[in-house]
Amino acid sequence: MGIIEKMRLDGKAAFVTGGARGIGKQIAVALAEAGSDVAIVDVDIEEAQKTASDIAQRNGRKTIAIKTDVTKPEEVAAMMKEIQDTFGKLDAAFCNAGICMNVPCEEMTYEQWKKVIDINLSGVFLTAQAAAKQMVKQGYGSIINTASMSAHIVNVPQPQCSYNASKAGVIQLTKSMAIELAKRGVRVNCISPGYIGTELTLNSPSLKPLIEQWNAMAPMGRMGKPEELQSIAVYLAGDTSSFTTGSDFIIDGAFTCF
């Protein structure tokens, strides 16, 4: 069997949080194209259902949409039960849901700070923890968390201290879980995307004016595309990455190199 065939995900099952749109959607598409069944997990159930239906029609994979607030343990537990009832197992978990608030640190309310941390860090922990429990029982599995290049640098000119802190936490959470689970067959890695041109970013009134400045600073002179994160997700979800755990993959067009 050649390397391309080995990278296939046929017979596997995965979930993607924040999977209805943007980066999460493109990851879900990639996993399905590689052969995996996929659960699209999102608070926006209507958009999640559209994404799941589109993936099923295009790839013939079993897809489901699950409405879940990743900050609520009881909803995460219900999500995992539905995944187990539908797929009978879980091979890969892509803990991706996240938000950003551009608020100066001295003006940020505690509620704003807490919302970002709850979704970006606690939400990743809760969903990764739920996946880990199932994977430990199975004796195998791959957890992939979405961090950010913002865990490595301080983005300018936008003020986003809560986002940067949450994503730095995701990296250390990833490494810590990887060490704890390494001898039990479960791998944990994260990806740290740079500026990615999702529909939300490109159409955001607050971010749109900054894109020209970001591109001027970027070594490649442009933002990344969500599709440019697909191959690393398929690699990490599959068996060819069997010796890869505790790693953070920076995919930023060399933005953090200076």
pLDDT in tens, 109-143: 999 999 999 999 999 999 999 999 999 999 999 99
123-138 helix and 73-87 helix, angle to the nearest 10 degrees: 40
Our count of domains for the chain comes to 1
Per-residue pLDDT, 231: 97
Using 50, 70 and 90 to split pLDDT, how confident is the model at 258? confident
Using 50, 70 and 90 to split pLDDT, how confident is the model at 151? very high
Per-residue pLDDT, 199: 83
CATH number at residue 157: 3.40.50.720
Nearest to 229 by CA among 209, 249, 214: 249
- In order of 4, 82, 141, 155, the CA distances from 62 in angstroms are 22, 13, 19, 39
Token pair recorded at residue 129: 């923890």
Q: Which amino acid would we find at residue 36? A: S
Helix, strand and coil content of the chain, in percent to the nearest 5, comes to 50, 15, 30
Nearest to 15 by CA among 252, 251, 253, 237: 237
CA 36/CA 237 separation, integer angstroms: 10
C-alpha gyration radius of the chain: 17
Residue 66 sits at φ, ψ, to 5 deg, of: -130, 125
Share of the chain above pLDDT 90, in %: 93
Q: 61 pLDDT exceeds 80? A: yes
Sign, CA dihedral 231-234-240-242, equals: positive
Catalytic-labelled residue, pool 12, 25, 166, 167: 167
Per-residue pLDDT, 111: 98
Tell me what the pLDDT averaged over the chain comes to: 96
- Summarised one tens digit per residue, pLDDT across range 153-170 is 999 999 999 999 999 999
Three-state DSSP state, 238: coil
Say if 178 falls within a structural domain: yes
Per-residue pLDDT, 4: 86
Nearest to 32 by CA among 15, 55, 49, 51: 55
Within 10 angstroms of residue 70's Cβ, the number of other Cβ atoms is 27
Say if 200 falls within a structural domain: yes
pTM of structure: 0.96
Say if 46 falls within a structural domain: yes
29-49 average pLDDT score = 98
Say if 20 falls within a structural domain: yes
Catalytic-labelled residue, pool 36, 142, 148, 241: 148
Using 50, 70 and 90 to split pLDDT, how confident is the model at 205? confident
Catalytic-labelled residue, pool 12, 36, 162, 163: 163
Residue 228 CA from chain centroid, whole number: 14
Q: 206 pLDDT exceeds 80? A: no
170-188 average pLDDT score = 98
CA 150/CA 170 separation, integer angstroms: 11
Q: 200 pLDDT exceeds 80? A: no
Say if 118 falls within a structural domain: yes
- Is 163 a known active-site residue? yes
- Is 140 a known active-site residue? no
Say if 258 falls within a structural domain: no
What letters, b where the CB count within 10 A reaches 16 and e where it falls short, cover 27-36? bbbbbbbbbb
- Is 167 a known active-site residue? yes
Per-residue pLDDT, 109: 98
Domain of residue 180 covers 3-253
Residue that is written with structure tokens 């479960």 in the block: 186
Say if 216 falls within a structural domain: yes
Using 50, 70 and 90 to split pLDDT, how confident is the model at 2? confident
90-104 average pLDDT score = 96
Say if 191 falls within a structural domain: yes
